[in-house]
Amino acid sequence: MSVTVTPETFSLVNFDAAEIRSVVEKLIPAIGLPADLDVRIEIDEATPLGQARIASYGDPIVITVESGALEDPKRPRRVSVSGSADVLGRLLFRIHDRRNDAFGEPPPDADLTIAESVSWDVYCIGRLVRLGFKHYDNRQRRLYHFRNRHGFTDAADEAFERLWTADDLAWSDIVALSEKAAAAAA
């Protein structure tokens, strides 16, 4: 396994590339990704915004992140290890799912609806939490975000709970849960 973090030395934020690399090196085997996986994490330290995305599923896998996505909200310009595990783990789970034939074939990330993306995120983060990568406000924050896209209904809460606690869903299951929740709010 090769994990590269760029830049190696940060000048605008007080991040440690080795610390971020260590988080990814722990996530890869825990999630069940191949041990020989090459991953490059490209961090844009010039922006405090928080976007993170998979730029390439090839070899190497490339994840681009704005520094705000990895920043500790209580200590500006410093990395949050648990927040980094949350952000990077969610994306690594998406990579894992896309590599699993039994999961099915979700559309490219850019073609996902917001509701589908939020639903998949809930599924990814729920598994991540069960692996021990807990983020301080994960469940309630994710539930609120899910409700904003699917309605504040019992059906949305039931769909969220299924996504949050499941380990073996297929893409079609995620879409069905998302659509059922949204339909109940219509």
* pLDDT at residue number 133: 86
Cα dihedral 4, 105, 29, 48 in deg (nearest 10): 40
How do residues 13-68 score in pLDDT, each as one tens digit?
999 999 999 999 999 999 999 989 999 999 999 988 999 999 999 889 999 999 99
* DSSP assigned state of 107: P
How far is Cα 80 from Cα 87, in angstroms, rounded to an integer?
10
How far apart CA 92 and CA 61 sit, in angstroms, is 9
For the chain, the structural domain boundaries read 2-99, 107-185
pTM of the model: 0.93
Cα torsion through 19, 20, 23, 28, rounded to 10: -140
CATH class of the domain defined by 2-99: alpha beta
